[in-house]
Amino acid sequence: MTTALRVPTEHAGARVDVFVADALGESRSAAAARCTRGEVSVAGSPVTKSHRVEEGDEVVVAAAPEVETGGAGVAVPPIRYEDDHLLVVAKPAGLVVHPGAGHTSGTLVQVLADAGIPLAAAGEERRPGIVHRLDRETSGLLAVAKTSVAYDALVALLQARDVHRRYLAVVQAAPPADRGRVEAPIGRDPRDRIRFACIPEGKPAVTGWRLLDTGLAPGMPAHSGRVSLLRCRLETGRTHQIRVHMSYAGCPVVGDRLYGARRDVADALGVRRFALHAAELGFVHPVTGEDVLVTEPPPEDLAAVIARAGMTVPPAASA
């Protein structure tokens, strides 16, 4: 279902996110998020949140699809580090980080709040304490701020590229070298607003990668079933960055149909989500100044996929 809104005289020249927020009675951040997801159109074309509306414009707001998220009673994920200022959790695949359109309950933020864990009253309205995110289908380590001081400092560290983040990824094909670096700007795909893409007008994005092992999807020939285990290092933190960059490099993450991964490879390996795992998270503690480095081995489902392809995780990259 969509909602069509006609811009009255008093709203002429207003930003579209402000207009939509007022018209629908929701927060400006929620309306801005709708624009980011491509749900707000003027004259039949999606617009950014900063678009200025004119008197008489018809603004169409598409309803986001409802997604079942599991509801209440979700267990608190394993906490790998915690003090009075912040914590690092091992998020399982399938858990949404914070509420949003279609994800109204059972999110990490709500689970932590229900458990009585304080969250920094900073950041966007529906994501208190969340300084960076993982996709729903990606497992691994995520930092959450308990205090505003920790939140502000962690955000600053991320912006300065001073947070150590490494991922394990099972990708299709084999890269051309043992290690490499993808440096390509990322922005929303102009042809498909659900996707992101490497486009000249995107934001700077850099991903380093190292080949750990190569393998084969069971029952498939080498030319189509070859897979590789990579350790990827984020130098920036754009939405879907590893997924977009690996697809751009010709090695999409296994199971990631949005970015070109083959269904037959995923089926042969028994992959039921993105074969992507946030394995290392390190930073200088924003309050104590101590070095914090947390590691997390791949969960059972991903470890089984790696073994099924005949690959192994080297000890230095087991987390």
* 246 SS3 class: helix
Q: Which residues contact 30 (CB under 8 A, 6 or more apart)?
A: 21, 125, 126
Q: How far apart are CA 227 and CA 265, in angstroms?
A: 9
Please tell me which residue in 135, 189, 192, 264 is annotated as part of the active site.
Answer: 135
Question: Distances from the Cα of 77 to the Cαs of 114, 207, 234, in angstroms?
Answer: 13, 27, 23
**Where are any strands of DSSP class E within 146-267?**
164-172, 179-183, 186-188, 196-198, 206-216, 226-234
**Cβ distance 95 to 297 under 8 Å?**
no
CA angle 257, 258, 262 (to 5 degrees): 25
Q: How far apart are CA 126 and CA 124, in angstroms?
A: 6
Catalytic: 135? yes
**Strand 276-284 to strand 139-145: parallel, antiparallel, or no bridges (unpaired)?**
parallel
Q: How far apart are CA 138 and CA 163, in angstroms?
A: 19
β-strand partners of 3: 61
Which of the residues are catalytic?
Answer: 135
